[in-house]
């Protein structure tokens, strides 16, 4: 069962890497917007994520897009996104790959 959850978590991360912030040409996972992915034994997925700013133009649509795409994964029972602003996002949360892509390295 634990292996199954780990595999599912890897698939969820792969799906998150297909969702891009419309203002920055980097996916939301590499941007560091995903703080936590939790999957319970019933395969309900809960994601804690943030936005680049509270006034982000996609504040209404991006969490829904994340929930919808994760729900389409085979085996996922439900998906819920919690938007948090603590800790606040900053560019240090980006992966090395994202920093390189955006010219920060």
pLDDT digits (tens, 9 = 90+) for 65-103: 999 999 999 999 999 999 999 999 999 999 999 999 899
Question: Which residue, 11, 12, 29, is CA-closest to 20?
Answer: 29
Which domains does the chain carry? 2-91 (3.30.300.130)
Encoding tokens for residue 39?
Answer: 């999957």
pLDDT, residue 25, reads 86
pLDDT, residue 65, reads 96
DSSP code string of 5-34: HHHHHHHHHHHHTT-B-TTSSSBTTTTT-E
pLDDT digits (tens, 9 = 90+) for 34-57: 999 999 999 999 999 999 888 888
pLDDT, residue 49, reads 97
What values do phi and psi take at 27, rounded to 5?
A: -70, 160
pLDDT, residue 21, reads 84
């Amino acid at each position: 069962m634990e292996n199954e959850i780990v595999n599912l978590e890897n698939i969820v991360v792969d799906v998150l890497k297909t969702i891009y912030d419309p203002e920055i040409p980097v996916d939301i996972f590499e941007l560091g917007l995903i703080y936590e992915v939790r999957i319970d034994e019933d395969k309900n997925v809960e994601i804690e994520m943030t936005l680049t700013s509270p006034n982000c133009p996609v504040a209404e649509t991006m969490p829904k897009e994340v929930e919808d795409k994760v729900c389409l994964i085979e085996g996922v029972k439900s998906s819920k996104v919690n938007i948090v602003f603590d800790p606040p996002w900053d560019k240090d949360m980006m992966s090395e790959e994202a920093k390189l892509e955006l010219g920060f390295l």
